[in-house]
Structure 1
Amino acid sequence: MSKVKPITVPCPTCEKTVVWEEASTFRPFCSERCKLIDLGEWASEEKRIPGDELPLPTNQDDEF
């Protein structure tokens, strides 16, 4: 019988190999630290989904 090789993925933050299993609490990240670094990058808009900028809404009632 052959053993089933576990699925592994690279951590999106540090590229360390992470085994994709239920016991990997922070998957796809290798640790809570890498997870929080990634969250911070999204919150500070260092990471973003590409697309056209949306125009700012204008409210006619605010004009004097």
Structure 2
Amino acid sequence: MSETPRTVRCPTCGKSVPWVAESHYRPFCSARCRQIDLGAWASETYRVPSSPPDASESDGFAPPGQPRD
């Protein structure tokens, strides 16, 4: 029984990519699209949202020269 492999869209260009071991650059369609995506992360075009650390939460670490709570 041969199953049709799952396909995903390349995050860079949108081309369909089969999700199989032979697709060396998956989820990207090519080395070029993979490099474009890496460059976007390196140039901070993509960012993971976060909130600033809460000053009331102390993890036990203090900057050098500062006493711990």
Q: Considering the TM-score relative to the shorter chain, is it more than 0.5? A: yes
Alignment gaps of 5+ in structure 1: none
Matches within 5 A, 1:1-64: 3-53=2-52
Alignment gaps of 5+ in structure 2: 54-62
Larger Rg: 2
TM, length-normalised to structure 2: 0.71
| Structure having greater relative contact order (Cα 8 Å, sep ≥ 6) | 1
Q: How many equivalent pairs are there?
A: 58
- Determine what percentage of the aligned residue pairs are the same residue: 52
What stretches of structure 1 move > 6 A for 4+ residues in a row? none
Aligned partners of 1:18 and 1:30: how far apart in 2? 6
Give the structure with the larger helix fraction. Answer: 1
